[in-house]
Structure formats: C-alpha cells, structure tokens
Amino acid sequence: NSPFILFNKKRIELLNSNEHNLKVEPLSDNFLYWLIGFTEGDGSFVVNHRNELSFILIQGELNKNILYKIKKILGFGRVIKQGPRVYRFICGKHSEIELIILLFNGNIVLPSRKIQFHKFLTSFNSLRMTKNPIKYISILVHIGPSLNNTWILGFTEAEGCFTISFLSNSVAFRTRFILTQKYDINLPILSKCIEVFDGGKIEGHSAKEVYNYIVSGLKNIEIIYPYFDKYLNDFKGVKLDSYKKFKILNNLIKKKVHLNLNRREELRNMSNEINSYSRKIK
C-alpha cells in the first residue's frame, strides 16, 4: 500500500545504471514521508528564467549534516556551500528531477506547495521529449498531518521548534512546541494539528499571513511526546538534541527543580541550548 512504489522502482533503475554492481534497496516509507514533510517546510521546486528546473533544500551551518544525510540516503543530488553559513542540497539533472516528481506527485499536503509543484511539473512536461507526459495528481493519499507517519516529524525539523524560557524576575517559565506556516491557504492543514494531537491552538504571527500551531504548558506539552518518541530514530538533524533536552528540562520543572535557586541558572542555560537550535539552523 506504499505510495512510493513507482519512485522506488525508478530510483533503483537509475542508480543501477549509474553504478554497476551496486546493491540498491528501496527507501523506507518513514524516510520518504519525512522528506516530504521536511521539503514542504524548507524545500523549493524551482523553475528559473531559462526554464531550467531544480529541486532545492537549504539549511544553515548548524544543520548542514541533514543535507548530506539526504544525499547519501537518496543516492543522488549534491550539497554545495551557498554562503558563509548557508548550504543547499540540489537536484538538477533530468533523471533526478523525474524521480523527485514521482516522489512528490500526489503526496503533497500543503496547498501552497501543490501550486508550486504543479507549475514545476507542467514545466517539466513542456521540456520533456516524449509523448507520455507525467500527469499531475492533486492527491493520491492523505499523508499528513497524521500520527501514523513521519510527515509531521519532517515538517517539524524544517518549521518547528521546542522552546522553554524562564522569566528573570520570577520563578515563572514557559514551555512550548510550535509549528509555523505561511499563507492563509495553508491554515486548514495547520489547524488539523489540533485534531491530530487532540490539543493546542492556532495563533496569528505578527507577520502577515503567518500562523503558529502552539502547544503550551507543562501538562499540555505531554500530548506531543508519544508521537515524537515513536519516531525518535527517524530524526535527521539537530532538532533531535533539542527534543531530548526539552523533555529532560520539562521533567525537571515538573519535579519543581526550577524553584531551587541553586539550580535555576543551570536550567536556564539548558533552556538557552534548546532555544538556540531554532535560531541557528536557518
């Protein structure tokens, strides 16, 4: 029942044609769901002014290893340094673009990404020397948000954060899980997280057409643990460390360790480490 059968078949054919004697295995659904979620947060389907197509993922210095992992697992594409602290994974070859299209066609969740991908596929078909263009599929299976696949995890590694802060003038604290997304058209998908996690709320951001799904509070935050614990081994980047420390610190707060003045600075330093991941990965 995997929606990735055709992609896996074509990928194996491509890699076997490039590397004789290379044993190529199908990629797991967990990785591919994750990659779709990550791409919908941080990826681009690009058609430039010369009508050249490329698939791009961009990350900052702190999280550059996530791009190398994607390249290694996929078996194609390349990672290049784009600036002093910016890296990108890029696919531009015709055969690679075709694989990317087979992976995402019918499996994209966010409406804004569907529009971008549709234009990308239309451009590909116009350039392709064949009488058999790839037909655009709006949706093949509804893959997310759901607790039963890694789409939310991938999207979180791109657009989510685990954050804890302590007020300097009191013993108060704030613990939150946040998913951020642009555009009004995507709001129904983001809102579905309330149903999926059975909690949380949507808040508008100060920036226009930007929204946050937020789970806050020590007791409420526990609703996200079963999902992320289930897919702990499927994290690919620095958000794994952030999530682990987030759980540890919440547990210490639950035990009221933050009320101990001798430990409060230690906990504040830990919260700064957790929050720094969100600030530095882009």
Is 243 contained in some domain? yes
Q: Do 120 and 207 fall into the same domain? A: no
CATH assignment of the domain containing 177? 3.10.28.10
pLDDT of residue 140: 52
Is 73 contained in some domain? yes
Q: Do 164 and 235 fall into the same domain? A: yes
SS3 87: strand
Is 248 contained in some domain? yes
**Domain end call among 108, 127, 146:** 127
Alpha-carbon distance 117 to 136, whole Å?
9
**Domain end call among 76, 108, 127:** 127
pLDDT of residue 144: 60
Structure tokens at 40: 């919908």
Q: Do 103 and 12 fall into the same domain? A: yes
Q: Do 251 and 177 fall into the same domain? A: yes
Is the peptide bond between 26 and the residue preceding it cis, with omega within 30 degrees of 0? no
Specify the amino acid at residue 233.
N
pLDDT of residue 280: 45
Q: Do 181 and 276 fall into the same domain? A: yes
pLDDT of residue 81: 95
Yes or no: say if 271 and 166 are a contact pair by the CB < 8 Å rule.
Answer: yes
Yes or no: say if 40 and 59 are a contact pair by the CB < 8 Å rule.
Answer: no
Question: What does the DSSP assignment read for 168-181?
Answer: TTSS-EEEEEEEEE
Specify the amino acid at residue 263.
R
Is 139 contained in some domain? no
Is 244 contained in some domain? yes
The number of angstroms, rounded, from the C-alpha of 157 to the middle of its chain's C-alpha atoms is 4
Is 147 contained in some domain? no
Q: Do 165 and 117 fall into the same domain? A: no
Domains contained in the chain, number: 2
Is 149 contained in some domain? no
pLDDT of residue 130: 63
What pLDDT tens digit does each residue of the chain (282 aa) get?
A: 788 999 999 999 999 887 655 678 999 999 999 999 999 999 999 999 888 999 999 999 999 999 999 999 999 999 999 988 899 999 999 999 999 999 999 999 999 999 999 999 999 998 875 678 999 998 755 556 899 999 999 999 999 999 999 887 778 899 999 999 999 999 999 999 999 999 999 999 888 999 999 999 999 999 999 999 999 999 999 999 999 999 999 999 999 999 888 888 899 899 998 987 654 444
Domain that holds residue 234: 158-280
Name residue 44's beta-bridge partners.
56
Q: Do 94 and 189 fall into the same domain? A: no
Q: Do 250 and 182 fall into the same domain? A: yes
Is 230 contained in some domain? yes
Neighbours of 83 (CB within 10 A): 10
- Find the DSSP H helices in the chain: 5-18, 29-42, 65-74, 94-104, 111-127, 151-159, 187-197, 225-230, 239-254, 261-280
Specify the amino acid at residue 253.
I
